Structure 1
Amino acid sequence: MPDRRWEDLPAAVRLVVESHTGPVRGAQSASAGSVSNIAATLETASGPVFCKAIQTDNPLVRMHRTEARVNPWLPDIAPRMRWKVEEAGWLVLGFDHVPGRHAVLSPGSADLPVIADTLTALAQGLTPCPPVRVQAATKRWEGRIDPEMVDGDTLVHTDVTPFNFLLGARVRVIDWSMPCRGAAWIDTALMIVRLIRAGHGPDGAEGWADQIPVWKQADPPAIDAFAAALADLWEQRRHENPAPHRGPLAVAARSWANYRNPSA
């Protein structure tokens, strides 16, 4: 959650931002879903602008640098980053403002086909992986799974929380701060856990995933291993930092792993 407001930025930083936006007349802070110190929609004479800001001594600044590096390579399903400001110990990124609501993943939601179509389009549009420096899935999952099982040449988002799917006149996928290069089915696998958390059974969640071609083409043993590794990862995260959302996600991931590996 953002812990600062636009007004908390040093005057020197706000001045540089306004050299890109024009005078900022107001700012509406985001209510959820951001690791930034500041995440807000800025009201300007030329229209709204979304910005996220983080202090450069914050370890999570690496995520913002990754997003800034990746954004120019993304299809237009992602809001375009228009400027980057690094000033007085702050990194600030400015994006096209995207109106919309967060996706609803519960059983029967009309958003479910839209999310499936979006994951399909992302896998198609980001294979082969654009020539941008990102972590390999083989490195990210090193020590948890046979690296060959998650290897691939697709740029995958990896943070498929419903907060990162904005539905309006069209769907937009935001917050590309954790991408990696790997198997094209990874985002669908991660979404299955989100669906289970939202009330789907593992069989129903996998049935939903069957409409996504890269999932249907995935190697079942790789999925089995990934589900088990993901359950262990969420359990570890819950113990390290028992944030409210982590318990339900750990339970959902374990439910899926047990479904895939009933004799484990």
Structure 2
Amino acid sequence: MARRRWWELPPAVRGAVEERTGPVRCAEPVATGAVSELVAVLHTATGAHFCKGIRSSNPLAWMHRNEARLNPYLPGVAPRLRWVVERGGWLLLGFERVAGRHPDLAPGSADLARVAGVLSGLASAPAPAVDVRPAAVRWAGWVDPEVVDGDTLAHTDVTARNFLVHAAGVAVVDWSAPCRGAAWIDTALMVVRLVRAGHSPERAEAWTGSVSAWASAPAGALDAFAVARAGLLRERHRGSGAPHLGELADAAEAWMWHRLPL
């Protein structure tokens, strides 16, 4: 998706944002983010704002609306939403800026313990009492509903770029498509990410030992989810040909065969 620069937005859109932020002195582009059409850190006299935006007509704009709706109910590791601007055909969200770095998921990284800690905390918090898509609907046709059913808010996109390690801990960003489900879902999704990052499936699962929700997960549920994850990623890769999806599918299949050896 083509990215826009802050200065390429219509003047009325930029003006509506500056009514909330004050004059933008510098707009620093941010490279990460697959859905947004604009991602930037807006520097103003009163501080910095993380801004992500999309045209209101974009079929994926629902993800930004969903994130704005859910932000007040998210756990403390999620940056707070400061403002929403919809003007001139654009929808822009402004968050508190977290100055941090993405964690290193490679074997031996000191960040692995930090990631496990934040996932353990998220897994222990119940889903908010608002409408959140059930995991059974999210993975319908791939896994039986009872396998992923639960009352925990799962982030579901646990790529390293959605974690920010900073001086006070770890922030978790981009809550555009969470679901309500089993407490172990995000940890299982991270296992696949770790395998892709160079861990063996055995070592990736050993890492889960510090995540409390994993120990209580039924082995049969994890087996079924591993099969579903491998199948879904392989199908997505065949449909798009994206190299990163092929790597994730390979990792998911390695995890699946670890759990279900021939």
Q: 1:183 Cα shift?
A: 0.3
Contact kept in structure 2, 1:38 and 1:52, CA below 8 Å = yes
Aligned match of 2:53: 53
Q: Within the alignment, does 1:179 sit opposite 2:178 as a pair?
A: yes
| Counterpart in the other structure of 2:41 | 41
1:69/1:132 contact within 8 Å kept: no
Q: 1:12–1:88: 8 Å Cα contact kept in structure 2?
A: yes
Q: Which runs of 4+ in 1 moved over 3 A?
A: none
Structure 2 counterpart of 1:145: 143
Shift of 1:261: 1.3
- Within 5 Å, give how 1:69-218 maps onto structure 2: 69-124=69-124, 126-127=125-126, 129-169=127-167, 170-218=169-217
Q: Name the CA shift for 1:131/1:2 in 2 (closer, same or farther; >3 Å).
A: farther
The answer as to whether partners of 1:83 and 1:93 remain within 8 angstroms in 2 is yes
Deviation at 1:2, TM superposition (A): 5.9
CA distance in 1 between counterparts of 2:256 and 2:59 reads 31
Question: Any idea what SS the aligned residue of 1:210 has?
Answer: helix
User: How far, CA to CA, are the matches of 1:23 and 1:243 in structure 2?
Assistant: 39
Q: Does 1:63 align with 2:63?
A: yes
Mean CA deviation greater in 180-189 or 236-245:
236-245
Counterpart of 1:21, as a letter, is T
> Which digits, 9 at most, give the CA deviation of each residue in 1:128-184, with x for residues without a partner?
x10122210011111111111100000110000000110011210000011000000
The one-letter amino acid paired with 1:84 is V
Deviates more, 1:163-172 or 1:186-195: 163-172
Q: Does 1:236 align with 2:246?
A: no
Provide the C-alpha distance between the structure 1 equivalents of 2:141 and 2:247, rounded to a whole number of angstroms.
24
Contact 2:33 2:39 in 1 (8 A): no
Percent same amino acid at aligned positions?
56
Partners of 2:14 and 2:177 in 1: CA distance: 27
User: Residue 184 of structure 1 contacts residue 214 of structure 1 at CA under 8 Å; is this kept in 2?
Assistant: yes
Aligned to 2:253, the other structure's residue is in SS state helix
Structure 1: how far apart are the matches of 2:131 and 2:19?
29
| Cα deviation 1:38-62 (Å, max 9, x = unaligned) | 0000010101110000011111111
After TM superposition, the score normalised by the length of structure 1 is 0.97
Structure 1: stretches of 5+ with no match in the other structure: none
Distance 2:37 2:132 in 1: 23
**CA–CA distance in 2 between the matches of 1:69 and 1:257?**
35
How big is the alpha-carbon RMSD for the aligned residues of Structure 1 and Structure 2?
Answer: 1.0
Hey, what does 1:247 align to over in structure 2? Answer: 246
Q: Relative to 1, partners in 2 of residues 1:2 and 1:220: Cα closer, same or farther, differing over 3 Å?
A: farther
Q: How many residues align?
A: 261
Q: Which amino acid aligns with 2:63?
A: M
Query: Is 2:11 the partner of 1:8?
Result: no
Aligned-partner residue type, residue 135 of structure 1: R
The 2-side partners of 1:201 and 1:62 are apart by: 37
Q: Structure 2 unaligned runs (5+)?
A: none
Say which is worse superposed, 5-14 or 94-103, in terms of deviation.
Answer: 5-14
Give the AA of the match of 2:245: R
